[in-house]
Amino acid sequence: MSQHKIAPGYDSSIPPNAIQGGVEKDGKPLFIARSFYQGSLHPGKAGQHIEDGGFSLGYGGKEVKLHEYYVLCGDGSKLRWVEQNGDFVIKDFTPIEAGHEADGSPLYAAKTFYKGGQQLGKCGDHLKGGIHFGCGKKERISDTYMVLAYL
Q: Please write the tens of the pLDDT for every residue from 12-70.
A: 999 999 999 999 999 999 999 999 999 999 999 999 999 999 999 999 999 999 999 99
Q: Are 45 and 55 in contact (CB under 8 A)?
A: yes
What's the rounded mean pLDDT across residues 74-103?
95
pLDDT at 4: 83
pLDDT higher than threshold 80 for residue 2: no
Q: Return d(Cα 135, Cα 57) in angstroms, integer.
A: 8
Average of per-residue pLDDT values in the chain: 96
Phi, psi of 77 (to 5 degrees): -70, -10
Q: Tell me the average pLDDT across 92-102.
A: 96
Report which DSSP code applies to 18. Answer: B
Amino acid at 38: Q
All structural domains of the chain with their residue ranges: 4-150
